[in-house]
Amino acid sequence: MKSTKRKKMKPKTKPRYLEGKYANPSDWLIHASFEALCEFVECGDMDIVGWYDSDEDIDEHSSQKYVNEHRQAKKDILELYDYWKERNHKNFEKKNDPIRAKGVPKLKIKFEKVKDAKASKIIFKHGDGSKEDEKVYMKALKDHMKWEKEFYKKEENMLIKLVKIRHYLWA
């Protein structure tokens, strides 16, 4: 059987926070989902839905369960929206990621050609190369890995929450 080459397709537009950046499909998944939420909130579509903000909005055909679900969905939508705006603030990682904290030496990577070899040797240098800089960097790296794990867990939980309320995002 002859294999067929797939034509590489590029999306027409990127979600706003991925503009000008390389992005993996895993990045696209969460960014595209939250982009839809942001458009819903920012473009006025949220104003179309009856959220039962006050008891005067409730009529005899609305069950208390239905009203409570809509009120909770509105809270969730606004919580998710606020989370996403904060998460994508330009200083978010700078403020929160331990590896980017003030005083943590920058990692420098150098490639050295190895005689009679096709590969290069990779040399890592932490700050000025001192043992103290290496120690500080390695502690920050350990903290970064813990922070990153928590960050991705929270991101995953927020994406799950978004999926659960997606049927309220209509206009």
Report if residue 160 sits inside a domain. yes
Range of the domain at 95: 24-168
Tell me the per-residue pLDDT of 69-124, one tens digit each, with 9 for 90 and over: 989 999 999 999 999 999 988 788 888 999 999 999 998 988 888 888 788 888 88
Range among 12-16, 47-51, 146-150 rated most confident: 146-150
| pLDDT band for position 13 (cuts 50, 70, 90) | low
Q: What is the mean pLDDT of residues 11-26?
A: 71
Task: Kindly state whether residue 35 falls inside one of the protein's structural domains.
Answer: yes
Mean pLDDT of the region 59-66: 81
Is position 16 within any domain? no
Inform me whether the pLDDT recorded for 133 exceeds 80. Answer: yes
Q: What is the pLDDT of residue 2?
A: 54
Residue 9 pLDDT grade (very low, low, confident, very high; cuts 50, 70, 90): very low
Which backbone phi and psi does 87 adopt, to 5 degrees? -60, -30
Confidence (pLDDT) at 152: 93
The string of pLDDT tens digits covering residues 19-52 is 667 778 888 899 999 999 998 999 887 887 788 8
Q: Is residue 3 part of a domain?
A: no
Q: How far is CA 81 from the centre of its chain?
A: 12
pLDDT of 8 strictly over 60: no
**Is 14 contained in some domain?**
no
Number of structural domains in the chain: 1
- Residue 123 in any domain: the answer is yes
Rounded Cα distance, 156 and 147, in Å: 14
**Does 4 map to a domain?**
no
Q: Does residue 9 form part of some domain? A: no
- Residues with Cβ within 8 Å of 15's Cβ and at least 6 positions away in sequence, in order, are 28, 31, 32, 34, 35
